[in-house]
Structures are given as C-alpha cells and as structure tokens.
Amino acid sequence: MEASFSRRKLLSPAEYKALNTRSNLWGGLQMASHLGAILLVGWLHALAMGTGWVLVTGLVLGVLINFLYAAQHELSHGTVFATTRVNEAFGRAIGFVQLFPRDFDQVMHFAHHSHTQNWERDGELVREPYTLGTYLLWFFGVTYWRNRVLGMIRRARGIIVEPFIREQEEAKIIFESRVHLAGYVGIGLVALVLQSWAPLTFWLLPMVLTKPVHQLQNTIEHLGLSHEDDILENTRSTRTNALMRWLSWQMPYHTAHHTFPSVPFWKLKDLNAKIESQAGEVHRMGWIEFQIEVIKKLAAKDESQYPMNEVWVVPTSGGRMRMPAE
C-alpha cells in the first residue's frame, strides 16, 4: 500500500496517534442514528402501504439500507468501535443484510487498499475495462447484484476463483457463504409459511431498486484516475453536503481514508485538512458531475483506450477542486 509520496511528511507521530484513537461513543452514535433512521422509515413505509407515498418511503428506505455498506466497510477496518468483537459482530449482521458476507468483503477490501488500481491484485478492480454498456449495467445494479448473488452461491459450493483470496482464507469464506445462504433460505421458508411479503417489501426490493443511488459513491472513488501507485492520483474524494457525508459514514473524504485507513471515519475531515495543507488539493468531484463526465468519456471510447497512468475523468472546470468551506 506504499505510494510514491511519503506519509511521514503528512502527519507527525503525535498527530497520527491523536487521529487514530477509537471511540465507542462516536461510533455508537453513528450506528444508532443510521439504524434508527432505517427503523423510522420502515415504520413510515408500513403506514404508507396502499398509498402513493409508498414510492417515497420505499426509495428512502432502500437508500438507507444500501448505504449500510459504509458501516460494514468501517466495521471491517475496525474503526467504528473500540472493541474488536463488537466491530465484527455488527459487521457480520450488516453483511447478512447486504448479501455481502463480512469475511469475503474484508479480504477483498484489504486487497483493494494494498494494491489500489492494480488490475491484477486490487480486490475491487478484478473486472474487464468498462464499455459504456457494461458500466451502465453495473451502475444500475444489474451486473452488481448478479455478481453478488452468483458469487456467493459459487463460493458456498467450494469454488474459489478470486485471486485475492489466499489459500488459508478459503475455508472460512466458504463456510461463511454457506451460513448466509442457509439464513436466506430460512427467511424465505418462514415467509412462505406465514404468507408474508415482508422480506421483499421492507428489505430486498427497496435495496435492489435503489442501488443506483449508492453507486453514485461506489463508482466515483477511483474510476477515471491513474493506475499508478500514488494515492493522491489514484483516489478521488467527493464534493457533497453534510447529510450525504453522514449517510456515507464520511467516505466522501476518500483520499484521506486511503492515505491512513486506520483513522476512524469521524476524524476523516480533520485528516483531509491536514493532508491538503501538506500535499495540496486532492482530486474531488460531485456525484452527478462525475456521472455526466464518465458517461461522456465512455461514449467516446472504452476504458481500455484511455492511458493507464493519467487521470481521464476530471471536473468540468478542470484540475482539482477543494470541498467548500462549512
């Protein structure tokens, strides 16, 4: 995970120690507010059944559930709570809801951090270069959910093809996939016996149908940037508002997160400020601005035809942009 610039020049040991402190309070407040919002909107969704408002509540509920992946991501890093076992327990529960087993996600994500933008070794980049068509299929969730579900079924059958999964990790990932599938089958059987549509109404349909909203953050973080080993050139932050940063668990400060992955999410704003004061502006775009630019670029030519060592999706005004002062 070494980049071509020195992290030592960005933070002093004392600054790093202060930023790296865990907090059950801040982690608990974030978790409680996110889960509380899901419960509240779920209740409103139940009240809205049979009215046109169900489309609104379903949209909001689905977005809240999808962005729980930001919690799963932070839990995998162990930065939400001070206690490792609490991070793991919440991570497994949320991974079940996300159809994304926690151990598999953690192994894949750590490979992503260790080899960011490396086609052969980045756990989140093991794919063919995008065409406009394949990008849109991924953005709207068609291939996203296909890969998520079929991959879990394949691993449950004991078939591991992912290059980032080490041999000593295979057994736990296979077992985890089987536990997940057994749980999903169990929920389905109970729903059939009770003749209940609740799992579809309050979970799967809202989550699947609103995936494109979550993809606004998923796709912006690295696509269209350099594949060289330099975090300041291969990672992009997001220009957005306080509500969206809460929803994303501060992941819009993505360059800061990649530079020091062990710093808790609630300290990324301060970390970002320190990095920019030392290294200059980081790459940053808005969600919609990015989608417009990347679609224009892919309509012109496929991802494979753009230089691997250059940034080819940039803000409409050109260059890097700072997050507006608050």
Query: Above 90 in pLDDT, residue 158?
Result: yes
pLDDT of residue 286: 96
* Axis-axis angle for helices 142-156, 132-139 (nearest 10): 70
Instruction: Determine what percent of the chain is predicted with pLDDT higher than 90.
Output: 90
Residue recorded with tokens 């609630």: 266
| pTM of the predicted structure, to 2 decimals | 0.93
C-alpha distances in angstroms, 195 versus 3, 44, 47, 199, 224? 55, 22, 19, 11, 47
Domain layout of the chain by residue ranges: 7-305
**104-128 mean pLDDT:** 94
**pLDDT tens string 16-27:** 999 999 999 999
Q: Does the pLDDT of residue 317 top 90, yes or no? A: no
Kindly state the average pLDDT of the residues 237-262: 97
313: left (phi over 0), alpha (psi -120 to 50) or beta: beta
Condensed to tens digits (0 to 9), the pLDDT of residues 178-202 reads 999 999 999 999 999 999 999 999 9
Q: What is the pLDDT of residues 48-71, one digit of tens each?
A: 999 999 999 999 999 999 999 999
Residue type, 67: F
- Decide if 271 contacts 31 (C-beta within 8 A): no
User: E strands of 8-147, at which residues?
Assistant: none
pLDDT recorded at residue 323:
42
Q: What is the pLDDT of residue 126?
A: 84
